[in-house]
Amino acid sequence: MASILVLNGPNLNLLGLREPSTYGTATLADVESICRNTAERLGFSVECQQSNHEGVLIDALHDAGRRVKSGELIGVVFNAGAFTHTSIAIMDAIKGADVPVIEVHISNVHQRESFRHHSYLSAVAAGIVVGFGIDGYRLAIEGLVQQKRCEQ
């Protein structure tokens, strides 16, 4: 069974505790369980990884690119947290690894501070889901699977 990597960046380990009026009260474990259920319903397995470190996220994207080429993985659902707005290195990793990435943001970043309006990742993402709360992860998995089916 091919797999989907659900990758979460900095501070998303604090979901449920962190600014609940912005991000809600569900935890990262709740998010991962939604992802697992959604992927299984669609015939895929899910691997979940969270890191607060840019280099670890970059290594995970490189590895994901290799695994997409071998057919093990179909792509990555990625909430890069604040690295979205700062990291040219993560943008380069997505492009360099040639890995399909659906960019997810729980909050509607466009309603927030102006520094959150720009994403380095959107230009290299295969799709973007913004502002649907944690349901965005389900939408992103469905979108990634749909894109994969359209390719075949």
Nearest residue to ligand DQA, by Cβ distance, number only: 81
**Widest pairwise Cα distance in the chain:** 41
Q: In angstroms, rounded to a whole number, what is the distance separating the alpha carbons of residues 116 and 62?
A: 25
> Which C-beta is closer to ligand DQA: that of 2 or that of 130?
130
CB of 14 vs ligand DQA, minimal distance in Å: 9
**Binding stretches for ligand DQA (CB under 6 A):** 11, 79, 81-82, 84, 105-107, 109, 116
> Which C-beta is closer to ligand DQA: that of 67 or that of 105?
105
Q: 27: which DSSP letter?
A: -
Q: Where do we find the tokens 């997505």?
A: 94
By CB neighbour count within 10 A (0-12 exposed, 13-18 middle, 19+ buried), where does 38 fall? buried
Q: In angstroms, rounded to a whole number, what is the distance separating the alpha carbons of residues 41 and 112?
A: 34
CB of 113 vs ligand DQA, minimal distance in Å: 8
CB of 65 vs ligand DQA, minimal distance in Å: 22
Positions marked catalytic: 23, 105
